[in-house]
DNA sequence: GAGCAAATAT
DNA sequence: GATATTTGCT
């Protein structure tokens, strides 16, 4: 009853990813220096596009082909910055203009368990009533996350909850092992994060949103957690920077601890990692292998 | 702008 | 093939 609420509420903050765990979307995972160190370069420097630009939807693919790193700039004296590091502009001549770089299609966002958890937390605190994409998005305050991302995810999440209710009801009815009925294939992600009790029992808690009208996440971090993003960024940067040589002596690699993420994340063994595109991290190395797809990773850390 | 279903893309 | 995104509609 009430205890659950207060409990849930107090636990919320605790369960929120700590600044150290948070991985901001707007961080480059690989520094230019690192790229150079690993001798990362463009497999095919073919940027010279045919004069005829096929007015088809292939434009996105052209982007995707853009591997990270600037190949071999005719200007060795110039240190590549994280900015131009994002795209050397090989596709700039084609469909994608360099100007509206941010208006371009955002790379596919990967809903990591951590990100989803944040999502669930936000929804939980808003209450189902107020849990609309826009507010959720604001609450999450994840850089780079769009309203549509949330809307889309919310849509699926609702379906998931619906199913959960269904099976839980059926299970209570008598058909045991109903929980097992939940499609394991459909909700890997959702299952990874605990669903607030009242989500499944709307009737039990008709007004769970009375105590939390709207609280921006940063505000919730009453501590010094304000600049979590920068903090995490710095830390993460260090990790990446020292790749194979932990200076701290006790840091674990911030990357996946879940096998399921591996395919979307990069493999540690590979030098190639990702570039930043004014918003978040992308992975292209696995992309090139499978046809070229851009993937966004938000919370590389696999902590639950 | 939100919600939903279906289509589409990766 | 699984997922995330986009689209069309209400």
pLDDT for A83 equals 40
Contact between the CB of A189 and strand C at under 7 Å: yes
* CA dihedral of A67, A68, A72, A75, whole degrees rounded to 10: 140
Contact between the CB of A182 and strand C at under 7 Å: no
pLDDT for A105 equals 63
Contact between the CB of A151 and strand C at under 7 Å: yes
Residue at minimal CA–C1' distance from B5? Answer: A155
| SS3 assignment, position A276 | strand
For A18, phi and psi rounded to 5 degrees? -75, 160
Instruction: Tell me the CA distances in angstroms from A80 to A72, A90, A294, A303, one per residue in order.
Output: 11, 15, 21, 33
A75 CA, B6 C1': separation in Å? 50
pTM of the complete model: 0.51
Residue at minimal CA–C1' distance from B10? Answer: A293
Which tokens go with A212?
């939390």
Which tokens go with A76?
């060795």
d(CA A25, CA A295): 12
Which one is predicted more confidently, A141 or A274? A141
d(CA A135, CA A292): 33
Cα A134 → chain centroid? 17
Taking the stretch 27-66 of protein chain A, residues with Cβ within 7 Å of any atom in nucleic acid chain C are none
Share above pLDDT 90 across residues of chain A, in percent, rounded to a whole number: 0
The average pLDDT across A147-170 equals 78
Q: Which of A298, A292, A300 is closest to A64 using CA atoms?
A: A292
Residue at minimal CA–C1' distance from C4? Answer: A108
What is the tally of helices (H) and strands (E) in chain A?
Answer: 13, 3
A166-172: Cβ within 8 A, 24+ apart: A168/A200
Which nucleotide has its C1' atom closest to residue A153's CA?
C4
pLDDT for A194 equals 67
Q: Which of A112, A119, A157 is closest to A139 using CA atoms?
A: A119
Which nucleotide has its C1' atom closest to residue A159's CA?
B4
Which one is predicted more confidently, A217 or A127? A127
């Amino acid at each position: 009853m009430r205890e659950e609420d207060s409990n849930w509420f107090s636990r919320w903050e605790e369960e929120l990813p700590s600044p150290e765990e948070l991985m901001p979307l707007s961080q480059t995972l690989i520094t230019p220096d690192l790229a150079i160190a690993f001798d990362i370069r463009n497999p095919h420097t073919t940027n010279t596009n045919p004069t005829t630009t096929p007015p088809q939807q292939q434009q996105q693919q052209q982007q995707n082909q853009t591997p990270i790193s600037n190949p071999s700039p005719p200007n060795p004296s110039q240190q590549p910055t994280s900015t131009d590091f994002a795209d050397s502009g090989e596709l700039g001549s084609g469909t994608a203009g360099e100007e509206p770089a941010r208006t371009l299609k955002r790379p596919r966002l990967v809903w990591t368990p951590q990100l989803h958890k944040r999502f669930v937390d936000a929804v939980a605190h808003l209450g189902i009533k107020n849990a609309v994409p826009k507010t959720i998005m604001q609450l999450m305050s994840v850089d780079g996350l769009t309203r549509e991302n949330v809307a889309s995810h919310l849509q699926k999440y609702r379906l998931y909850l619906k199913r959960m209710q269904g099976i839980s009801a059926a299970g209570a009815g008598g058909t045991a092992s109903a929980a097992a009925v939940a499609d394991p294939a459909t909700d890997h992600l959702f299952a990874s994060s605990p669903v607030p009790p009242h989500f499944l029992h709307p009737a039990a808690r008709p007004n769970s949103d009375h105590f939390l009208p709207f609280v921006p996440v940063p505000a919730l971090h009453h501590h010094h957690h304000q600049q979590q993003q920068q903090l995490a960024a710095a830390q993460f940067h260090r990790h990446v920077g020292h790749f194979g040589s932990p200076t701290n002596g006790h840091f674990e690699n911030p990357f996946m601890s879940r096998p399921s993420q591996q395919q979307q994340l990069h493999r540690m063994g590979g030098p190639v990692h990702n570039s930043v595109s004014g918003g978040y991290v992308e992975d292209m190395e696995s992309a090139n292998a499978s046809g070229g797809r851009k993937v966004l990773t938000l919370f590389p850390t696999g902590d639950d």
